[in-house]
Amino acid sequence: MSNTLKVGSYTFKSRLLVGTGKYKNLDETGRAIVASGADVVTMAVRRTNLGQHPSEPNLLDVISSSKYTLLPNTAGCHTADDAVRTCRLARELLDGHRLVKLEVISKSRTLYPDVVETLSAAQTLVKEGFEVMVYTSDDPLIAIELEKIGCVAVMPLGAPIGSGLGLQNPYNIQEILDQLSVPVIVDAGVGTASDATVAMELGCDGVLMNTAIAEAQDPIKMAEAMRLAITSGRLAFEAGRMPRKRYADASSPEAGLIK
Amino acid sequence: MKLTVNGKVESVDALTLRDYLAHTELVDKRIAVEFNGEIVPKSIFSETLLQDGDVVEIVHAIGGG
């Protein structure tokens, strides 16, 4: 069925994947996820604060792994080694779960993917049996390489993480879509509903976002807007848009006009 | 005995990893542990003997994108 998203051994109903960062509290996080209709929810892995609030609610108590597919990320990792260690810890934390979001980012203010380290980490993780959804630049050659390594989804950025600028290079995303057989999911850069729709209209298999929802004035309402945006973008892609023309083409027939 | 836990050196009076985690009230929480660079499954916390200089990382899930 065209309305499901198949990633590796998983099948999802929703093509919207959402993050859990930057919300005011876990209650808001939970409500935004429900409103988004997402099946896949990302999370980060961090050192516990020893001795501080051991009874504080845990993200895993709010996001039930029976309802959602958790997607642990390697956000903040700057080397392949750290990303691989983080994935191994995530697999242990989530009782053997193998689906991960690999991201190795540069220390620059762009947080651009470090593709050299990303390629190296992807190789190790695929060998260790992980199903790797990989965050990368919108470079089609790197995307092809990541597919060859065995990543189950390639996730080029639309614009820098948290920038909300929308798709900056739709031609590169289109080229990646043309070249790859695994799902292509735009990850990062979406700012509002129309940005998500543009990605879906291009033929992307999904969109992963966090800040666009979490930093909206009303995150719950924006989560719903994104759910609708993804659905309408996908429907428009499947419907096939009309060709663009440079001049007008009247909608009402010329014949039968009164004289 | 001194352990490095999450990057900080701590003086610890515990025989096994499980003893140490029980002391920090983390033992029943949703955590994962790396011990000297290797993942330690929960099932062997109580068999993992601590030695001076061991390096422990304890992680949990938090919000992220």
Say if the Cβ atoms of A48 and B64 lie within 8 Å. Answer: no
Rounded to two decimals, what is the model's pTM?
0.93
List CB contacts (< 8 A) between B24 and chain A. 50-51, 54
Spell out the residues 6+ positions from residue A103 whose beta carbon is closer than 8 angstroms to its own: A73, A74, A75, A77, A83, A113, A118, A134, A135
Instruction: State the Cα–Cα distance between residues B57 and B34, nearest whole angstrom.
Output: 5
Domain locations in chain B as residue ranges: 2-60
A101 flagged as catalytic? yes
pLDDT digits (tens, 9 = 90+) for A152-186: 999 999 999 999 999 999 999 999 999 999 999 99
First to last CA, chain B: 38
CA A101 to CA A41: how far, in whole Å? 11
Nearest to A43 by CA among A29, A28, A55: A29
Short-list A227, A228, A236, CA closest to A17: A227
Q: How confident is the model at residue B58 (pLDDT cuts 50, 70, 90)?
A: very high
Report the DSSP pairing between strands B38-40 and B32-35: antiparallel
Q: What is the identity of the amino acid at A91?
A: R
Given the residues A67, A101, A148, A259, the one annotated as active site: A101
Start-to-end CA span in chain A (Å): 52
A25-71: pLDDT as tens digits: 999 999 999 999 999 999 999 999 876 565 667 888 888 888 999 99
What ipTM was assigned to the predicted interfaces of this complex?
Answer: 0.93
Q: Sorting pLDDT into bands at 50, 70 and 90, what band is A1?
A: very low
CATH for B2-60, options being 3.40.720.10, 3.10.20.30, 3.30.450.20, 3.30.1330.10: 3.10.20.30
In order of A119, A168, A223, the CA distances from A147 in angstroms are 10, 22, 30
- Return the residue matching tokens 């993480």: A161
Give residue-wise pLDDT tens across range A64-110. Answer: 888 999 999 999 999 999 999 999 999 999 999 999 999 999 998 99
Å from A99 to nearest chain B CA?
15
